[in-house]
Chains A and B, each alone.
Chain A
C-alpha cells in the first residue's frame, strides 16, 4: 500500500515537472506582455518602446540566400535592441501558402510578408496591405534605388503602392559552351535556330533543353516567354480585355509550337513527371545542352563543376517579330506591410522593410552568395561575382523590358492554376486545341 502511494506520488511529481518544463519552454518568441501596441504612431516612442514584429518570407532553410536573410535579421536586431523580429519564413510553397492563408483567416496577419504583387494581390492590397507610397515619397534615397518594379504593387483603380521589391527574377537559357563547340554551332537566338540546333544535339544523343513541368509553373513560364517574344505585351493586354481569345490562331500557334518541341524531343522525356532537380543535375552532368531556368538558379549552377563552361542567352525570339525580340519575362517578389500594424509596431515594420530592401543589404546578399541579380541599382564589381552571374547579367542587359506572366494581369485569380494545369495536361497528351479551348471556356464562365 505504501509502495503504491509512493509510485502514485512519483508519477504525479513527474507530471508536474513535465508541465512546468513545457510551459517554461513555451512562448519564447511571442510578444512580451508589455509590448502591447499603444497605437501612438509616435516615431520617437518607437525608438524606446519594445516591440515584436513578425515576418513571413520564403527565405528559410540552408541555401546561401536564406542564410544571408537570417544574418540580416540578426544584424537588424543587434542594431535595434528594442525590436524583436519573429521570423516565420517557410521556403516550401505549399507550407508558405497554408501558413499565410491561415494567418489571414485567423486575423494573425504577419506584419511583413512576401508576395508577388500583380492582379492576384489586388484584394490583399485593398483589404490588408498598407499603402507604402507615403514612405517611398518621404525617403527618396531608399525609393530612388529601386529598379522600375514598383508597378507590380500598383493598380489603376487603387491609389498607392502596396509592396516594395525584395527580389528580382527573370528567365533565361543557360547553355553548355563545350557542347555547342562539339556540334559547331552558336546558341540559338531564334525559334527557327532552336530547331536546327536541337536536331544536331539529337544526333549525338544529347537532350537539347529538358524542362520539368512537374512543378507546373514552368510550362506557364514557357508560354509567357513565347507570347512576349512573338506578340509582345499587346497580346497579354488583349487577352485581359477580352479582345483576344486563348484559343485564337495566335495563341494556338504557341501551344502548337510547345507541343511540336515536345514531339521533336527538344524538351526531353517524361516532362510531367520530371522535377527540376533532375534536369539541373542532367545539365550539370552534360546530358542536356541547355537549361531553361530563372535567375534563382544561378547560385546552384555557380557552385557546380561546369560553372566556367556555362553561358547565358535570352529566350529565343521569332525571326518575323524583331520588335519584341528583346522583351524578357521577369518581375519582382517583394514585401508588403500589414495595415493592422500601428504605432511602434508600424514604425518597426517599415524600418525593417527599408533595411532589408536597402542597397547595402543587397550588396551583402551579393557578397554572401557571390552572385545573383537584385532589384536595385547598384555597382557590381565583376571580379566579386561568379562567372554565371556575370554571364546572366550580360544577357539581361540586352533586355528592352520585363513583363510578368500572361495571366498575372488577369482579374481571375484562378486563371494561373488553370493555364498551368492545362499546359501540364497538354504535355501529358492533350491536343493544343483542347488545351486552348479549355482555358478559353474557363475564362468565359468566370469573367465578371
Chain B
C-alpha cells in the first residue's frame, strides 16, 4: 500500500513531535546515570561513560524518595477525593436547588479562585499553629482539599447547570431521594467535569511545595518536592545525578496514572468545549 505524501508528512510530523516530547525524558534518564562533571561537560547528548546506578540507590536511600512518592500520592489522592466529594455535594445544592442567597453563597466559594496562595501562607500557618496541626496528615489533607475546592465547585456546578432539570423532576416523581439523585443519576452525567477537576486537583496537590515547606518538619512526611531538596547544598551546589534519578523515580507514578486514565484525561481536557 503506497502512502500518500500528505500521510507521510503527517507521520513525519508526529514522529518529530514524539521526539520533542520524549527527549526530556531521555535526557533525564541519561543524566540520572552521570555525575556533575559529565552532566555539565561538552557531550550533552552522549550516554554515560560510567553508568552510575548508584545515583538511584542514593535517591532511594538518602533522599527517601519512595516514601516521598507515597506521601505525595497519599496527599494527592486523599485531598482530591475529599475535594471532589465536597465539591459534588456543594455543586448539587448550588446548581439544582432554588433558595435565597444561592448566588451569594456560590460567589463566596468562587472568590477562593481569586485569592493568591501566597497571601494565605501567614493566616493559614497561624491557624494551623493554634490547633497544633503541624506534621499532621489529616490537617494537610483537609487543607489541600479546601484549597482545591473553589475550582472544583466552579467546574462541577457549571457543568451540572447544563444538565436538564427534567431529569431531577422525573426522578423525584419516581420517589428518588436527593442522595440517590445526586450519586446515582447526576454523578455519572457529571463525570467529565468531575474527571477534569479531579485530574487538575490531583496534580496540583502532587506538585505542592509551599505547604509542605511551611507545615511539615518531619522528614518522613516530606512530599516529592521537599525530598528533591535532599541533594541541594547550602550555597547552591546540587548533586545533579541523584536529583535526576529522583526525578525519574517520581515520574513513574504519574505516567502510570496517565496511562490508566488516559481516555478520561483526554476527554476531561475537552469537556465543555463542545455543546452536545
Contact = CB atoms under 8 A, between A and B. Distances in A.
Partners in one complex: yes
Contacts of A19: 138
A134 B58 CA distance: 45
Interface stretch (A42-50, A58-66, A140-148, A255-263): A58-66
B125 A25 contact: no
Nearest to A167: B234
Closest 8 CB pairs of A and B: A26-B136, A281-B40, A22-B138, A22-B137, A106-B126, A62-B62, A88-B217, A105-B122
A334 to B, nearest CB: 14
Given A106-B122, A277-B36, 13 more contacts: A23-B136, A28-B135, A28-B218, A60-B229, A61-B230, A62-B58, A91-B234, A105-B126, A215-B235, A277-B237, A284-B37, A285-B37, A297-B235
A3 B55 CA distance: 51
- Which of B37, B230, B231 neighbours the largest number of chain A CB atoms within 10 Å of its CB? B37
B125 A27 contact: no
Nearest to B242: A62
Interface in A52-75: 54, 58-63, 65-66
Contacts of A253: none
B197 interface: no
23 contacts: A22-B78, A25-B221, A26-B137, A27-B133, A28-B218, A30-B132, A59-B234, A62-B242, A63-B237, A91-B232, A92-B229, A98-B121, A102-B122, A105-B126, A106-B122, A277-B40, A277-B240, A278-B40, A280-B36, A280-B237, A285-B41, A296-B237, A300-B233
A269 to B, nearest CB: 13
Determine the interface band of chain A, counting residues with CB < 8 A from chain B. Answer: 35 or more
Contacts of B133: 26-27
Interface of B: 36-37, 39-41, 58, 62-63, 78, 121-122, 125-126, 129, 132-139, 141, 209-210, 213-214, 217-218, 221, 229-240, 242
Nearest to A98: B213
A58 B138 CA distance: 28
B213 A95 contact: yes
A322 interface: no
Interface in A281-297: 281-282, 284-285, 294, 296-297
A29 B135 contact: yes
B33 to A, nearest CB: 16
Given A98-B213, A106-B129, A30 B229 contact: no
B19 to A, nearest CB: 25
A276 interface: yes
Contact of B236 (A59, A88, A95, A275): A275
A18 interface: yes
A90 interface: yes
B3 to A, nearest CB: 44
B135 A98 contact: no
A90 B229 contact: yes
A374 to B, nearest CB: 15
A212 B118 CA distance: 30
Contacts of A90: 213, 229
B229 A281 contact: no
Nearest to A19: B138
A267 B132 CA distance: 51
A105 to B, nearest CB: 5
A273 interface: no
A99 interface: yes
B138 A63 contact: no
A246 to B, nearest CB: 26
A107 to B, nearest CB: 7
Interface in A1-44: 18-19, 21-23, 25-31
B167 to A, nearest CB: 20
A93 B221 CA distance: 21
A276 B231 contact: no
B233 A61 contact: yes
B41 A281 contact: yes
A99 B214 contact: yes
A276 B236 contact: yes
A87 interface: yes
A149 B194 CA distance: 60
Contacts of B236: 93, 215, 275-277
B36 A281 contact: yes
A25 B234 contact: no
B214 A62 contact: no
Contact of B139 (A26, A29, A102): A26
B145 to A, nearest CB: 12
Contact of B231 (A28, A62, A107): A62
A23 B237 contact: no
Interface in A234-278: 275-278
Interface string A186-213: 0000000000000000000000000000
B122 A87 contact: no
Nearest to A275: B236
A108 interface: yes
Contacts of B62: 62
- Which of B63, B217, B218 neighbours the largest number of chain A CB atoms within 10 Å of its CB? B217
A91 B138 contact: no
B123 to A, nearest CB: 8
Contacts of A304: 37
A98 B138 contact: no
